[in-house]
Amino acid sequence: MLLDGKRVLITGGTGSLGQALARRILGNEFGSPEKVIIFSRDEAKQHAMRLDHQCLQSATDEVIYHNLEKVLEFRIGDVRDYDSLASVLREVDIVFNAAALKQVPTCEYFPYEAVRTNIDGPQNIVHVIRQLGLPVETVVGISTDKACKPINVMGMTKAIQERIFITANLRAPKTRFTCVRYGNVLASRGSVIPLFQEQILAGGPVTITLKEMTRFLLSLDRAVDTVLAAATQAERGETYVPRVPSARVLDVATAMIGTREIPIRYTGIRPGEKIHEILVSEEECFRTIERDGYYVIRPILPELQRTGSEAAALTTEYSSKDSPLDQKALRSLLISAGFIAEG
């Protein structure tokens, strides 16, 4: 199996995706890894994750003493720093790059900080592997819908990350570089559902930017499924995109409010925000195929393209505005995900 006996690195491993990915990997559904290394610069989140993994409510400092001897290992470091990356990449077979600055308004106000993490970080990964000739087998870059036809700094930097990893297949040909691209993850930090839950508990108002706004509805498990599918199946330079439902944000708020008398207030679009999410652009349609329930965008570089008989899976862009769920289907989805109660 993919991860049997492998040493796995998750950069940004204390984030929502990183933690979910680590749990799934440690569950051995893709093989039994020798080591899973969580690499991030937040010692507090690492400590909380360590306690959670050991099923401890609290602990003194000794929980860290045998860190290097455990399957789940924690390393303090930053993808912005070449040397700290070099020290950990020497020891791994598979890399999941989940390190990112991902909040759209924050990136708008601090664009160069987004460049340092979202562009310099991936470039450092490629640079270390190439310069040191490391035998890393696979690198999976985690991207976003905002990288498709980008209008904000976060999307622009993630679009460049995609191209860095795709091109890396030519620069470091012994390593397979692939990407995944998906929209906002339900219930992840900074997403709309936790915000709505807090606002509803406080009695409102529930804030929505625009009535027309739509979003794809992607669970954390589905995001992890996409990452692991790309690691397992993707060819060099391919980008995996999950096929998921979408909904109007107003309908999500209405379903979560239910019969409660809670007002909705419209705040206007935020800096850099899109009205609709787009996961595959019109320009990418002709080189997008379907594979095992995913859209797969083939690489843009001719050196990485291969001949195949698969027909293009799309004739127009893949956007959240196209087929949003009706209220009944949306309510059913939110109930099954545990975000609202049945009845």
Can you list the domains of the chain with their CATH numbers?
A: 7-183+219-243+279-319 (3.40.50.720)
CA distance 17 to 40: 13
Mean per-residue pLDDT, 79-87: 96
Tokens matching residue 188: 């992840």
257 contact partners, CB below 8 Å, separation of at least 6: 200, 206, 264
pLDDT in tens, 139-154: 999 999 999 999 999 9
| Nearest CA-CA partner of 216 in 197, 242, 194, 240 | 242
Structure tokens at 251: 């309908």
Q: Which has more confidence, 307 or 248?
A: 248
CA dist 243 and 248 (Å) reads 17
Q: Tens digit of pLDDT for each residue in 58-70?
A: 555 555 555 555 7
Q: How many residues does the chain have?
A: 343
For residue 88, pLDDT beyond 70 = yes
pLDDT at 67: 54
Higher pLDDT, 138 or 323: 138
187: pLDDT strictly greater than 90: no
pLDDT value of residue 179: 98
Model confidence at 218: pLDDT above 70:
yes
The radius of gyration computed from the CA coordinates of the chain, to the nearest angstrom, equals: 20
Give mean pLDDT, residues 295-316.
90
Alpha carbon separation from 83 to 18, 35, 80, 125 (Å, rounded): 22, 21, 9, 10
pLDDT of residue 66: 55
Q: What is the mean pLDDT of residues 170-192?
A: 87
Distance between CA atoms of 289 and 298, rounded to whole angstroms? 8
What's the rounded Cα separation, in Å, for the pair 302 and 306? Answer: 8
Residues 155-178: what's their mean pLDDT? 97
Report the number of secondary-structure helices (H) and strands (E) in the chain: 12, 15
Average pLDDT of the chain, as a whole number: 91
| pLDDT interval class at 311 (50, 70, 90) | confident
Q: Are 327 and 251 in contact (CB under 8 A)?
A: yes
Residues 33-45, mean pLDDT to the nearest whole number: 95
Torsion of CA 59, 64, 67, 73, to 10 degrees: 70
For residue 162, pLDDT over 70 is answered with: yes
Catalytic residues: 146
The helix (H) or strand (E) run that includes residue 24 is: helix 16-26
Alpha-carbon span 284 to 316, nearest angstrom: 9
Omega of the bond prior to 205 within 30 degrees of 0, cis? yes
Q: Is the pTM of this model over 0.75?
A: yes
Q: What's the pLDDT at 123?
A: 98
By three-state DSSP, how is residue 180 classified? strand
